[in-house]
Amino acid sequence: MNDIYSPERGAGAHEIIKVENVSYDYVSGEQVSRGVRGVSLTVRKGEFVVLLGHNGSGKSTLAKLLNGFIVPAEGKVTVEGIDTRDDKRIYELRAKVGMVFQNADNQMVASVIENDIAFGPENLGVPRDEIEKRISWALDAVNMSEHRRRSPNKLSGGQKQRIAIAAILAMYPDVLILDESTAMLDPKGRGEIMETISRLNKEKGLTVILITHYMDEAIAADRIFVMNEGRIIKEGKPREVFSDTEKIAEAKLELPVASRISAELRRAGLDIPFALTDEELAEGLCRLK
Ligand SMILES: Nc1ncnc2c1ncn2[C@@H]1O[C@H](COP(=O)(O)OP(=O)(O)OP(=O)(O)O)[C@@H](O)[C@H]1O
Ligand SMILES: [Mg+2]
C-alpha cells in the first residue's frame, strides 16, 4: 500500500476545494444556457460529499469546474491552492481531481485491463516500475486484482465501473468525482461501487464527490449539496437535508425510501420518528405499542 493518502478527515481537516461565488454559462452564438450561478462551497480533505439535483440543475457543470475542464466566467475555484485558471498547472490539477463518468465502456481504451490502468500514469510520465506498483495498488483498492490480465469486455457493468475507478486511482488523485457512475448499473453493481468508494473514503481518506439521482446513495454522505437551477439551495448532513421537505420539494427530489415510508406512516397517524435508513424505520416501528 502506498502512503500518499493520509487518513486526515473530519472537522479539523484542511479545505481542499474552495469555490467562491462562481458563475458559468454555456454560450454558443446567440444562445446562452445557464450552467451555474453564484455557487460557493468548500470541501474538506477526506470528506464524502454528495451533489443532488434534478436534470439540468448544474451538477455536471460544477464537477467540470472543479477539475478545470471549464473555468469560471465569474468567481474562483481552487484545489489545494491551485487556481483552475492557471494554465501552467492544468495537468497537475487534472491529476489531483479524477473524474469517473456514467458509461465505463467509453472510458476503456485498452484490450487488457492492466494497460487501461497504466494509461493515466503513463501520460503523467510516471516511471515504468512505479506504474507496476500503482496498477497492483489500484486493482487491489477496487477488489479486482485477479482480473489484471483479462480483457475488459468480459466484465459485468459493476466490474467495468470499478476498473474505471482504478484507472483514475492509479493517478493518485486527491479528489475522486463520480458523475452518475452508477446510473447504468443494476442494484448489485451499484452496491459494489458504493461499497468500493465508501471504503476508499473511510480507509484511505480519499475525498469523494458523488453525483447521483439515487437518494439512498446520498444517505452515506458526510454532507449533501442540493442544486436547483444552477444554484445551491441547501447544504447539510443527510438528516438535515432530507428533513427539510420544503427544499426537497423545491428541488423536485424524492426522499430516501425509509424517509418516505416514515413520513407516510406519520401522515396516517402513527407516532414514529423521521427515518433516514431502513434500520431507523424498523426501530421506529418496533417501538410502537
Ligand atoms: N455543453 C453544453 N452546451 C450547452 N448547454 C449545456 C451544456 N452542458 C450543459 N448545458 C446546460 O447547462 C445546464 C446545467 O447542465 P448540467 O449538465 O450541469 O446539469 P446536471 O445537473 O448535470 O444534469 P443531469 O442530471 O441531466 O446530468 C442545463 O440547462 C444544460 O442544458
Ligand atoms: Mg450531469
pLDDT tens, residue by residue, 40-54: 999 999 999 999 999
60 lines ligand 1 (CB under 6 A): yes
181 lines ligand 1 (CB under 6 A): no
**Is residue 278 pLDDT above 80, yes or no?**
yes
**Is residue 6 pLDDT above 90, yes or no?**
no
Listed residue (233, 227, 230) closest to 35, CA to CA: 230
Mean pLDDT of 136-161: 90
What's the pLDDT score for residue 11?
65
Which tens digits make up the pLDDT trace of 52-78? 999 999 999 999 999 999 999 999 999
Residues of the chain with pLDDT > 90, as a percent, come to 72
pTM of this prediction?
0.92
Which tens digits make up the pLDDT trace of 96-133? 999 998 876 666 677 899 999 999 999 889 999 999 99
Q: Which domain, by its residues, includes 38?
A: 15-103+177-254
**Is residue 202 pLDDT above 50, yes or no?**
yes
Ligand 1 probe mutation, 59, 213, 226, 231, most atoms within 8 A of CB = 59
The answer to the question of residue 86 being in a domain is yes
Which atom of ligand 1 is found nearest the CA of 63?
18
What's the pLDDT score for residue 102?
80
CA dist., res. 172 & res. 167, Å (int):
10
What's the pLDDT score for residue 132?
95
- How many domains does the chain divide into? 2
- Averaged pLDDT score across all residues of the chain: 91
**What is the band of 13 on the pLDDT scale with cuts at 50, 70, 90?**
confident
Co-location of 97 and 194 in the same domain: yes
| Contact in structure between 259 and 234 (CB atoms under 8 Å) | no
Co-location of 24 and 86 in the same domain: yes
What's the pLDDT score for residue 104?
63
Mean pLDDT of 261-284: 92
CA dist., res. 214 & res. 163, Å (int):
22
Co-location of 30 and 70 in the same domain: yes
What's the pLDDT score for residue 86?
96
Exposed, middle or buried: residue 271 (CB in 10 Å: 0-12, 13-18, 19+)?
exposed
What's the pLDDT score for residue 191?
87
Q: Mapped to the 3 state alphabet, what secondary structure does 107-166 carry?
A: HCCCCCHHHHHHHHHHHCCCCHHHHHHHHHHHHHHCCCHHHCCCCHHHCCHHHHHHHHHH
- 35 Cα to the center of ligand 1, angstroms: 6
98 lines ligand 1 (CB under 6 A): no
The answer to the question of residue 182 being in a domain is yes
**What is the band of 89 on the pLDDT scale with cuts at 50, 70, 90?**
very high
**What is the band of 1 on the pLDDT scale with cuts at 50, 70, 90?**
very low
Co-location of 93 and 187 in the same domain: yes
**Is residue 212 pLDDT above 90, yes or no?**
yes
The answer to the question of residue 284 being in a domain is yes
Co-location of 237 and 279 in the same domain: no
Q: Which three cell numbers stand for residue 213?
A: 439521482
252 lines ligand 1 (CB under 6 A): no
Q: Whose CA is nearest to atom 12 of ligand 1?
A: 35
Exposed, middle or buried: residue 198 (CB in 10 Å: 0-12, 13-18, 19+)?
middle
The answer to the question of residue 267 being in a domain is yes
CA dist., res. 67 & res. 99, Å (int):
8
The strand pair at 74-79 and 82-83 is best described as antiparallel
CA dist., res. 77 & res. 89, Å (int):
13
Mean pLDDT of 225-239: 97
Q: Whose CA is nearest to atom 6 of ligand 1?
A: 26
Co-location of 245 and 262 in the same domain: no
**Is residue 138 pLDDT above 50, yes or no?**
yes
**Is residue 215 pLDDT above 90, yes or no?**
yes
42 lines ligand 1 (CB under 6 A): no
| Contact in structure between 191 and 160 (CB atoms under 8 Å) | no
61 lines ligand 1 (CB under 6 A): yes
Co-location of 234 and 202 in the same domain: yes
**What is the band of 289 on the pLDDT scale with cuts at 50, 70, 90?**
confident
Which atom of ligand 1 is found nearest the CA of 57?
21
Q: Which three cell numbers stand for residue 285?
A: 416501528
Q: Which residues contact 123 (CB under 8 A, 6 or more apart)?
A: none
CA dist., res. 184 & res. 192, Å (int):
13
CA dist., res. 147 & res. 134, Å (int):
15
Co-location of 181 and 99 in the same domain: yes
| Contact in structure between 273 and 262 (CB atoms under 8 Å) | yes
The answer to the question of residue 60 being in a domain is yes
Mapped onto helix, strand or coil, the DSSP state of residue 248 is: helix
**Is residue 158 pLDDT above 90, yes or no?**
no
